[in-house]
Structure 1
Amino acid sequence: MCRQPHRGLTTWLLSGDSASQGLTVARMRITDRAGSVEPDDLGVHPGRDWFTVLTSTVVLYFGSRVIHVEVEAGQAASFSTMTPHPLRADRGPAAILCILDHNGERNHRHPDT
Structure 2
Amino acid sequence: MTQQDGELDSLVRRRIRALRVAQGWSLEELATRARLSPSSLSRIENGRRRLALDQLVTLARALDTSLDQLVETDTDDVIANPMIDGAHGLMRWPIKADPGVTVMRQRMTNPPPDNPARMRAHPGREWLVVLSGTAILLLGNRRLRVETNQAAEFPTMLPHAIGAEGGPCEVLGIFDRDARRGHPADKGIAVK
Fold conserved between structures, TM > 0.5: yes
Shift of 1:99: 1.1
Q: 1:11 aligns with which of 80, 89, 92?
A: 92
> TM-score normalised to the size of structure 2?
0.49
Q: Which moved more, 1:103-112 or 1:76-85?
A: 103-112
The 1:54–1:38 alpha-carbon spacing in structure 2 relative to 1, beyond 3 Å, is: same
> TM-score normalised to the size of structure 1?
0.78
Q: Which moved more, 1:71-80 or 1:3-12?
A: 3-12
Shift of 1:5: 4.9
Q: 1:94 aligns with which of 141, 148, 169?
A: 169
The 1:42–1:48 alpha-carbon spacing in structure 2 relative to 1, beyond 3 Å, is: same
CA distance, structure 1, for counterparts of residue 144 and residue 174 of structure 2: 19
Residue pairs, 1:1-113, within 5 angstroms? 1-5=82-86, 7-15=88-96, 18-19=98-99, 22-34=100-112, 37-63=114-140, 65=141, 67-106=142-181, 107=183, 109-111=185-187
Shift of 1:3: 4.4
The 1:111–1:14 alpha-carbon spacing in structure 2 relative to 1, beyond 3 Å, is: closer
Amino acid at match of 2:165: D
Secondary structure of the equivalent of 1:92? coil
Secondary structure of the equivalent of 1:74? coil
Secondary structure of the equivalent of 2:166? strand
Shift of 1:105: 2.6
CA distance, structure 1, for counterparts of residue 146 and residue 161 of structure 2: 13
Shift of 1:103: 2.5
Structure ranking higher in helix proportion: 2
Instruction: Judge conservation of contact 2:108–2:164 (CA < 8 Å) in 1.
Output: yes
Which structure has more RCO (C-alpha within 8 Å, separation ≥ 6)?
A: 1
> CA RMSD for the aligned pairs?
2.4
The 1:112–1:46 alpha-carbon spacing in structure 2 relative to 1, beyond 3 Å, is: closer
In the alignment of these two chains, the number of paired residues is 107
Gaps of 5+ in 2: 1-81
Gaps of 5+ in 1: none
Secondary structure of the equivalent of 1:71? strand
CA distance, structure 1, for counterparts of residue 123 and residue 146 of structure 2: 22
Shift of 1:76: 0.3
Same amino acid, percent of matched pairs: 35
